[in-house]
Chain A
Amino acid sequence: MVSTRAVVAQQQQPVSSIAERMAAAGTGNAIELRGVSRFFGALAALTDITLSVRPGERRAVLGSNGAGKTTLLNCVTGDFPPTSGSVRFFGEDVTTLPPHERIRRGLRRTYQISLLFQRLTVRENVYLACRGVSRGRFSFIRTSARDSIMQSVSDLISLVHLESVADRLVGELAHGQQRQLEIALALAGAPRFILFDEPAAGLSPNERGDLVAILTALPAHIGYIIIEHDMDVALRVVESVTMMHNGRIFKEGAPHEIEADQEVQQLYLGGGNA
């Protein structure tokens, strides 16, 4: 197996000018949310969220369905910008930036329901992710097979064990393989912080093992937030936990504190997930 550390380390040099600038300037918390709320019509999906995650920190966001976990990620990436409040990424206010600008600054995410390019091959999917955070997105010149970007693409594909289907159309892949590809797309380029939205959903026990190995082997400077219902996965790969309920944060702490907490047990662990 190709090591995650090696693959991601090789891609560390920031490849776009914005990434270079950010690497030079990057200070402060990786993610800093202040008073973030998000309404869908009259429905408050998020209410007054204030949250800081340090660079390199690994954090789980837990909560029942409808607690606002995915909406939180959408506010951070800009898929759905917050109705009020501010979002900072490594000290820079990104509240009004479109998603692609945040991605170019080193933010990455995976989706709960795979959002892939169904009519392109696995290799083309990963290639697009690598190209998206480098120069030449509009290039009218074909990429040669000897280009260094193609090596990064192959490395990412082997990292998630998709070599055997690298040239198959994504629409033909099994569900678990599509989930693996989701993760490969989020590791492309030089990530500085990654948002994982239920990465283990639909994976076999074996694949879950691989996922835990990939997450724990990420270079120390790459932090992440992970939303995960599988406690075996979630609590093994993080150092801190944020509990959400009805669009609000109601508890933060280390994994063992959260597990021991009475209120948490009642609200969440005592529910369907026990």
Chain B
Amino acid sequence: MALLQTTDTSALGAQGLQGNGALSRWASQHAAILILGLLLVILPAAAGEFILVQVVGWSLILGMIALSLMFLAGYGGMVSLAQMTVAGVAGYMIAVFGTSSLPAISLFWPWWVAAPIAIAIAVAFGTLAGALSARTEGIYTIMITLALASAFFYLTLQNWPIFNGFNGFTTIPAPHFLGVNWKAPVPLYYMILFFAALSYAAVVYISRTPFGLALQGVRDNPRRMEAIGYNVTAHRIAAYAFAALIAAIGGILLVWQNNQISPFSVGVNVVINILIIAVIGGLSHPIGPFIGAIIYVILRTFALDSLVAVGLDGRRFQTLIGLGFLVIVLFSPDGVIGLWRRWSARALSSRSSNNR
């Protein structure tokens, strides 16, 4: 996890923007991230295919898509429900331009042509969604982006020439390159891990750049940002474009991991799940969405069996997720990150009082 290391140390490069308190906070987070990264790198030695791809891999991908929401909401104050849709556009496009079981639609272009095209189209879509909602705030942003998400869902459901309607696409394998078959579980896992770590590092880094700080300024006070020389609308749209890039990469990985995409991959309930993941994890730090994603995936994967084991109806797993969501939001508005910060603050203060 050299990536994560370099990010966290280079954060100190901007010492001018951080106080000592922030520095020590960074240092303690640095250690936690490092250990987590190391565990993820050596995981294939210990875990089987199911855990690697279906649990951790899936979590990292959902984490990336939720990260794109966290970037917009946490730093920009813009709650966009269209991030899963951006991922879905990229996922559909990789199936249309690349390989699938549908020769009537798919163009079977090589991955190094299909993937950039899919990402470009998804980023264009995400930027357009941003342009539509950048002049709105709060509930109106949510409504516009939700409308876009539902529109795309119905488009995929009803359009057969491009989206193959109800059935969608299957058999969309990860490519074969550099002599590695990336479809195989361990390479696929490492590819997902690489892009998840890269997006995480990029968001952490950008949060302290002029662009990222200005975005936080827009969140706190858009009117004042105008009055110190920033074009607030342009800044918001640029943030949507960057978030769309992360979501688009996540969308392609999701299709390669799942080996299929259909309208139900981009349905409104999935869109809402991304919001839930981001909120459960916490919107104040880029690690939040990944924490939220692993919690969601574990509940999703194991709740059914554990409910049955205690004699309840397994189909109630959604209720369990809902309850978990309720409890976390009730006790900590900033999700698991908020709980963690409160817990470490308490540990710190009790340690210092013991020392006295």
Within 8 A of A (CB), among B188-237: 205-206, 208-211, 213-214, 216-217, 219-221, 223-232, 235
Instruction: Please name all residues of chain A whose beta carbon is closer than 8 Å to the beta carbon of B209 when the two chains form the complex.
Output: 139-143
Which of A113-121, A210-218, A258-266 interfaces with chain B? A113-121
Closest-by-CB residue of A relative to B18 is: A167
Contact A128 B214 (CB under 8 A): yes
Within 8 A of B (CB), among A243-265: none
The binding surface of chain B is classed by DSSP as helix
Task: Say whether, besides A131-B210, A143-B210, A117 and B216 are in contact (CB < 8 Å).
Answer: yes
Q: What does the 1/0 interface line of A74-95 toward B look like (CB < 8 Å)?
A: 0001010000000000000000
Within 8 A of B (CB), among A90-120: 98-100, 103-104, 109, 111, 115-120
Within 8 A of B (CB), among A42-70: none
A129 at interface by CB-CB < 8 Å: yes
Inter-chain CA distance A111–B220, complex, in Å, is 15
Contact A138 B238 (CB under 8 A): yes
Closest-by-CB residue of A relative to B22 is: A167
Contact A100 B16 (CB under 8 A): no
Instruction: Please name all residues of chain A whose beta carbon is closer than 8 Å to the beta carbon of B217 when the two chains form the complex.
Output: 117, 120, 128
Q: What does the 1/0 interface line of B1-26 toward A look like (CB < 8 Å)?
A: 00000000010011111111110000
Instruction: Please name all residues of chain A whose beta carbon is closer than 8 Å to the beta carbon of B208 when the two chains form the complex.
Output: 142
Task: Say whether, besides A98-B231, A132-B228, A167 and B216 are in contact (CB < 8 Å).
Answer: no
Task: Say whether, besides A77-B227, A79-B227, A127-B17, A136 and B210 are in contact (CB < 8 Å).
Answer: yes
Closest-by-CB residue of A relative to B210 is: A139
Contact B17 A128 (CB under 8 A): no
**Interface size class of chain A, counting residues whose CB lies under 8 Å from the partner chain:** 35 or more
Instruction: Please name all residues of chain B whose beta carbon is closer than 8 Å to the beta carbon of A124 when the two chains form the complex.
Output: 17, 213, 216
Closest-by-CB residue of A relative to B207 is: A142
A8 at interface by CB-CB < 8 Å: no
Task: Say whether, besides A132-B230, A137-B210, A117 and B15 are in contact (CB < 8 Å).
Answer: no
Closest-by-CB residue of A relative to B20 is: A167
Inter-chain CA distance A132–B213, complex, in Å, is 11
Instruction: Please name all residues of chain B whose beta carbon is closer than 8 Å to the beta carbon of A150 when the two chains form the complex.
Output: 16
Contact A111 B16 (CB under 8 A): no
A79, A99, A153 — most chain B CB neighbours (10 Å): A99
Q: What does the 1/0 interface line of B136-167 toward A look like (CB < 8 Å)?
A: 00000000000000000000000000000000
Q: How far is the CB of B168 from chain A (nearest CB, A)?
A: 35
Contact A143 B14 (CB under 8 A): yes
**Interface size class of chain B, counting residues whose CB lies under 8 Å from the partner chain:** 35 or more
The binding surface of chain A is classed by DSSP as loop
Q: How far is the CB of A168 from chain B (nearest CB, A)?
A: 7
Instruction: Please name all residues of chain B whose beta carbon is closer than 8 Å to the beta carbon of A138 when the two chains form the complex.
Output: 210-211, 214, 235, 238
Contact A168 B19 (CB under 8 A): yes
Selected contact of B220 from candidates A109, A120, A136, CB within 8 Å: A120
Task: Say whether, besides A100-B230, A137-B230, A138-B238, A120 and B213 are in contact (CB < 8 Å).
Answer: yes
Instruction: Please name all residues of chain A whose beta carbon is closer than 8 Å to the beta carbon of B229 when the two chains form the complex.
Output: 100, 103-104, 129, 132-133, 137, 189
Contact B214 A137 (CB under 8 A): yes
A188 at interface by CB-CB < 8 Å: yes
Instruction: Please name all residues of chain B whose beta carbon is closer than 8 Å to the beta carbon of A137 when the two chains form the complex.
Output: 210-211, 214, 229-230, 235
Instruction: Please name all residues of chain B whose beta carbon is closer than 8 Å to the beta carbon of A142 when the two chains form the complex.
Output: 10, 13-14, 205, 208-209
Instruction: Please name all residues of chain A whose beta carbon is closer than 8 Å to the beta carbon of B235 when the two chains form the complex.
Output: 137-138
Selected contact of A118 from candidates B10, B18, B220, B232, CB within 8 Å: B220
Contact B213 A128 (CB under 8 A): yes
Task: Say whether, besides A137-B230, A167-B19, A132 and B216 are in contact (CB < 8 Å).
Answer: no
Q: What does the 1/0 interface line of A172-209 toward B look like (CB < 8 Å)?
A: 00000000000001001100000000000000000000
Inter-chain CA distance A121–B14, complex, in Å, is 14
Inter-chain CA distance A124–B16, complex, in Å, is 9
A274 at interface by CB-CB < 8 Å: no
Q: How far is the CB of A150 from chain B (nearest CB, A)?
A: 4
Q: How far is the CB of B24 from chain A (nearest CB, A)?
A: 12
Inter-chain CA distance A153–B210, complex, in Å, is 14
Closest-by-CB residue of B relative to A77 is: B227
Instruction: Please name all residues of chain A whose beta carbon is closer than 8 Å to the beta carbon of B205 when the two chains form the complex.
Output: 142
Instruction: Please name all residues of chain B whose beta carbon is closer than 8 Å to the beta carbon of A120 when the two chains form the complex.
Output: 213, 216-217, 220
Inter-chain CA distance A129–B225, complex, in Å, is 8
Instruction: Please name all residues of chain A whose beta carbon is closer than 8 Å to the beta carbon of B231 when the two chains form the complex.
Output: 98, 100
Instruction: Please name all residues of chain A whose beta carbon is closer than 8 Å to the beta carbon of B230 when the two chains form the complex.
Output: 100, 128, 132, 137
Contact B224 A98 (CB under 8 A): no
Contact B15 A145 (CB under 8 A): yes
Q: How far is the CB of B146 from chain A (nearest CB, A)?
A: 26
Selected contact of A111 from candidates B213, B224, B225, CB within 8 Å: B224
Closest-by-CB residue of A relative to B12 is: A145
Inter-chain CA distance A119–B207, complex, in Å, is 13
Contact B19 A144 (CB under 8 A): no
Contact A117 B14 (CB under 8 A): no
Contact A145 B16 (CB under 8 A): yes
Sampled A-B contacts (24; CB under 8 Å): A115-B224, A116-B221, A116-B224, A118-B220, A119-B220, A120-B217, A124-B17, A124-B213, A124-B216, A128-B213, A128-B217, A131-B213, A132-B225, A132-B228, A138-B214, A138-B238, A139-B209, A140-B206, A140-B209, A141-B209, A142-B209, A143-B17, A166-B19, A167-B18
- Nearest first, the 8 A-B pairs at minimum CB distance are A167-B19, A132-B229, A145-B16, A132-B228, A117-B220, A103-B229, A99-B226, A115-B224
Q: A residues near B, CB below 8 A? A: 77, 79, 98-100, 103-104, 109, 111, 115-121, 123-124, 127-129, 131-133, 136-145, 147, 150, 153, 166-168, 185, 188-189
